[in-house]
Amino acid sequence: MSNVNLYAQPGGLVVAGRDNYNNPAFHNVANNGGTVLIYLDAVIDNDYGTYHNLLHNTSACGPAVPRWPGEPQANQWGYLADFRPGSVLQSKLECVLERMVADNPHMGGFFIDDVGSRSWFGGFNWSTFGAANQQAYRDGAIGIVQTARRVADRYGLIFIVNGTWGAGTLASAGGGYPNMNAHGLSLADGGFVEHHGANELPYWTNYATSPQWATASPRTGGVEFMLSANESNSDRDAYIASGAFAYVVNQTEPAYQQAPVPWGPFHYTGLPTGN
């Protein structure tokens, strides 16, 4: 939890994890005008953490969520959950998100991990996943973010997605939403670009500044808040200089257990702060 209190000011934004979201440091961020997003991954069947257990296992929100037919493995952390439209997961998700809000009055929104219009998981091959599975994957991802938007809107919250909504065909990029030929997701308040170098900036700048982001959010109203985590100071500085990202840090995977020291001053954003 080191450095979290450095974000306890207007414009600061932090993402709380699966099991530390009630730490006093996150309450301090919210109490001092910062925004706390709480992490949820509905796509991988990893049940670690209160809300993941509530979602994936038998709970007050419903029965256990099965794996995707054929049980494709996503990565070392788990298998692909069955999140197709009409699935058990889709029926339970709203209950879980509501519970998160009820338990955490300090939260400003959700950080929804691994939800994009196509998979980049290394555990299975998207190109051989089959057209029917590809369409069900995209449709299921849309169902997840529709539910997240609905719950967020009830409480004036936001949500950020980690997962791509890239312009193009279903087979290649997965497509944006609602316009597949444009980058971005209208339902989300922003997205996360994770561990990409400065050499990829031409693509990610276009992606991050697409006018399709956040247009269906009453909270941010088409103003996208894009996040980037880079693996070196030089990459971080290049992403900052692009002007396409609201928050940029130099932070690699093992360091996700702590917040990086902010590289510069924060500015008031108007994002929700909880209490």
User: What is the value of pTM for the model shown?
Assistant: 0.97
Predicted pLDDT of residue 251: 86
Percentage, residues of the chain above pLDDT 70: 99
Residue 252: pLDDT over 80: no
Predicted pLDDT of residue 2: 77
Supply 67's token pair.
């794996």
Residue type, position 202, single letter: P
Return the beta strands (E) in 180-222 as ranges.
190-194
Residue type, position 204, single letter: W
On whether the CB atoms of residues 22 and 1 are closer than 8 A, the answer is no
31 or 258, greater pLDDT: 31
Predicted pLDDT of residue 257: 76
Average pLDDT over all residues of the chain: 96
Q: How far apart are CA 191 and CA 189, in angstroms?
A: 7
On whether the CB atoms of residues 35 and 273 are closer than 8 A, the answer is yes
How large is the angle between the packed helices 201-208 and 233-242, nearest 10 degrees? Answer: 40
Residues written for the chain: 275
Mean pLDDT of 147-174: 98
Domains of the chain by start residue, with CATH:
4-257 (3.20.20)
Percentage, residues of the chain above pLDDT 90: 93
Predicted pLDDT of residue 1: 67
Predicted pLDDT of residue 21: 97
Residue 256: pLDDT over 80: no
